[in-house]
Chain A
Amino acid sequence: MLRIRKAPMLAGALLILVFPWIASRVPAISHYPDLMVFAGVYALITIGLSLLMGYAGQISLGHAAFFGIGAYVSGVLTTQYGVNAWLAMLLGALAAAVVAVAIGAPSLKLRGHYLAMATLAFGIIINIVFREEARWTGGPDGMVGISGLTVFGYALDSAGKYYYLVWGIVAAVFLFTVNLIQSPTGRALRAIHASEAASAAMGIPIARYKVIVFTFSAVLAALAGSLYAHYMNFINPATFDLFFSIKLIIMIALGGMHSIWGAIIGAIIVAFLSLEWLHYFEEFEIVVYGAVLLLVTIFLPEGLSGAPAKLMARMRR
């Protein structure tokens, strides 16, 4: 999973590039670029989260909170204080980074799943803040009137245009992450994953690396939140609840924990499931996710990105 080949990357980039054009020719899927905006937003979060889970070996049950911090910082600062949207996005990311260090530093020093506990609690608390601090957040009803984004005066006022912004950012983050994995930092992370005792004996500051990865993943989630807020023009606390944190874990499990590709594939599939294909199930949606998670862990522990290799092995037998 280390060698990330150029060919699939180019193919993926090309597919992303031409997809809106294809969708516009086929009436049945003409609204898919809109869904893909959400998929891209999710993918930004899952890329960071898969780095955290697959390499640092840690689980976060509170990434919806960082997603929400980005969205609300953008929403509040742009609508109530007239701050520039891009600056607000930066401040949202900064806020997430500060919070991530504050949560991560103490809980990642300890061995075990303290981060999962800490993020779980944090996610619940933040959601209460979103609901209760109605002066700023609009309370449970949410906040409306968040503006769209403009790039050098050019308004990204359609799904098609926003699609390219979001997926452009996903591509940049993907490249960054791929570079990272193949660098000394990535090697240190893989070493930590293989043996913490030996990594420490080689002078690798384990806790520091884990905090860095956690913070990176939180920043990406906040960025995703800002992009979400400016696309929807409306946010409410329900979007950023515990269920969404769990959905993110499902995306990672579905795509494959040790693969950045998997993170993106998982995000796309869950986006389409939850926004399009599972509408009919309504409150039973959660049951379907449970079933998907169960099936994947039993039959595809490596996730979908591990499926081709598994299939090949089976055919050779």
Chain B
Amino acid sequence: MAAESVNDPILEIEELVMAFGGLTALMNINLRVPRGKIKAVIGPNGAGKTTLFNIITGVFPPTEGLIRFNGQAISDRKPHQIAELGISRTFQTVELFNSMTALENVMTGRHLRIRSPFFGCGLALPSLRRQEKSLKQEAMALLDFIGLAAKSEIMAGALPLGERKILEIGRALATEPQLVCLDEPAAGLNETETETAAHLIQAIRQNGITVLLVEHDMKMIMDISDEITVLNYGEKIAEGTPKEIQRNPLVIEAYLGQGGGFEIG
């Protein structure tokens, strides 16, 4: 990827359409995610935000349109291939490996970075044991970075929601992505927890990782995003900096129409 430069967007979406039977969840969406920034996608319930994430990460192919990651078309790839290319994600309803410890969850996140040959594993080759040791250290370092080092041996399913959300972000980071898609990282969190999550997301950007963020918490969005795209009923209705979005009458109307969830703190 010689042509790839810091000025090129890391992700480009062109004329994206997603139809579920008769329901068009996304209509002619154009979106560019600038490299190294935090880009937010907001919109009322059912606007199509999670659907957008699912298409980017290969959960289902788009009905129409093109997605380019680092200039390369990716709309026909499987989820695990997308992960291999360097896009990771979290899920709106936390999808941790509940019966595994926090440490094991992060270790699993490093699957792409390690070797796991079937026969080698069955024979417990010394090289694989050594790999397992350093893998554990790397995973611990990551748990430390997200502030969950003390919880390493606790089953993911037994952690409180705030920590589960953070752990899921940690697991996504373990893949060493270039782009991480976070689907409502603050949903269900209290104020302090939300702040922790916001700090973490900023720290991720400082590490050079691009963030695509879906969130309903307007304070968090306005505080940390560099650029915001607003979806409503599957259509893009606005785009701009947090300041521009706050003033945009279309945006205010979309949120007011939904019962006025648009508070800017």
Cβ of A118 within 8 Å of any chain B Cβ, yes or no, is no
Q: If the complex has contacts A194-B98, A198-B96, are A187 and B104 also in contact, measured as CB distance less than 8 A?
A: yes
- Asked if residues A194 and B100 are in contact (CB atoms below 8 Å), the reply is yes
- Asked if residues B88 and A194 are in contact (CB atoms below 8 Å), the reply is no
- Asked if residues A176 and B122 are in contact (CB atoms below 8 Å), the reply is yes
Cβ of A195 within 8 Å of any chain B Cβ, yes or no, is yes
- Asked if residues B79 and A185 are in contact (CB atoms below 8 Å), the reply is no
Give the shortest distance, in Å, between A46 (CB) and chain B (any CB): 17
Q: Which residues of B contact A296 (CB under 8 A)?
A: none
- Asked if residues B80 and A200 are in contact (CB atoms below 8 Å), the reply is yes
- Asked if residues A195 and B96 are in contact (CB atoms below 8 Å), the reply is yes
Q: Which residues of B contact A151 (CB under 8 A)?
A: none
What count of chain B residues pass the 8 Å CB interface test?
Answer: 39
Cβ of B150 within 8 Å of any chain A Cβ, yes or no, is no
What count of chain A residues pass the 8 Å CB interface test?
Answer: 27
- Asked if residues A212 and B111 are in contact (CB atoms below 8 Å), the reply is no
Cβ of B83 within 8 Å of any chain A Cβ, yes or no, is yes
Q: Name A190's contact: one of B78, B79, B88, B99 (CB within 8 Å).
A: B99
- Asked if residues B99 and A194 are in contact (CB atoms below 8 Å), the reply is yes
Q: Which residues of B contact A205 (CB under 8 A)?
A: 78, 80
The contact string, 1 if C-beta is below 8 Å from chain A, for chain B 168-180, is 0001101100000
- Asked if residues B83 and A200 are in contact (CB atoms below 8 Å), the reply is yes
Using CB atoms, name the residue of chain A closest to B119. Answer: A176
Give the shortest distance, in Å, between A297 (CB) and chain B (any CB): 21
Q: If the complex has contacts A179-B124, A185-B118, A187-B108, are A197 and B95 also in contact, measured as CB distance less than 8 A?
A: yes
Do most interface residues of chain A lie in helix, strand or loop, or is the interface mixed? helix
Give the shortest distance, in Å, between A173 (CB) and chain B (any CB): 9
Q: Which residues of A contact B171 (CB under 8 A)?
A: 198, 202
The contact string, 1 if C-beta is below 8 Å from chain A, for chain B 107-149, is 1110110111110011110001001100100000000000000
Cβ of B225 within 8 Å of any chain A Cβ, yes or no, is no
The contact string, 1 if C-beta is below 8 Å from chain A, for chain B 157-170, is 00000000000000
A-B contact pairs, 27 of them (CB 8 A): A180-B122, A182-B124, A183-B122, A183-B128, A184-B116, A184-B128, A184-B132, A185-B116, A185-B117, A185-B118, A187-B104, A188-B116, A190-B97, A191-B100, A191-B111, A194-B99, A197-B79, A198-B97, A198-B171, A200-B79, A202-B80, A202-B112, A202-B174, A203-B80, A203-B83, A203-B111, A204-B80
Q: Chain A: residues with CB nearer than 8 A to chain B?
A: 176-177, 179-180, 182-188, 190-191, 194-195, 197-206, 212, 216
Q: Chain B: residues with CB nearer than 8 A to chain A?
A: 57, 59, 78-80, 83-84, 88-89, 91, 95-100, 104, 107-109, 111-112, 114-118, 121-124, 128, 131-132, 135, 171-172, 174-175
Give 11 A-B pairs besides A201-B89, A203-B83 with Cβ atoms closer than 8 angstroms.
Answer: A179-B121, A180-B118, A184-B111, A184-B121, A188-B108, A191-B111, A195-B95, A198-B91, A202-B83, A202-B109, A204-B80
